[in-house]
Amino acid sequence: MITLMTMSNVVVLGDNTEVARYDLHGRLLSEPTQGINIIKMSDGTTRKEFVK
């Protein structure tokens, strides 16, 4: 017996790029600034980055 399974949502690792960067007040940043930056990634995730 052979079972065929398909995947509808395939995530390619390594192709995740930064889409936008914000400060803690929600203002869009054009480049990394001192303090905490909130980064929105192309896969929809967000992460916080501390810039000295």
Number of structural domains found in the chain = 1
**Residue 41 covered by a domain:** yes
pTM score, two decimals?
0.68
Domain that residue 43 falls in: 18-51
d(CA 50, CA 38): 9
d(CA 3, CA 13): 26
**Residue 11 covered by a domain:** no
Task: Supply the pLDDT for residue 36.
Answer: 96
**Residue 45 covered by a domain:** yes
Let me know: does 48 contact 37? Beta carbons within 8 Å.
Answer: yes
Q: Tell me whether residue 29 is exposed, middle or buried, using C-beta atoms within 10 angstroms of its C-beta: 0 to 12, 13 to 18, 19 or more.
A: middle
**Residue 12 covered by a domain:** no
Per-residue pLDDT reduced to its tens digit, 15-50? 789 999 999 999 999 999 999 999 999 999 999 999
**Residue 1 covered by a domain:** no
**Residue 3 covered by a domain:** no
**Which residues have CB under 8 Å from 11's CB, separation 6+?**
43
**Residue 44 covered by a domain:** yes
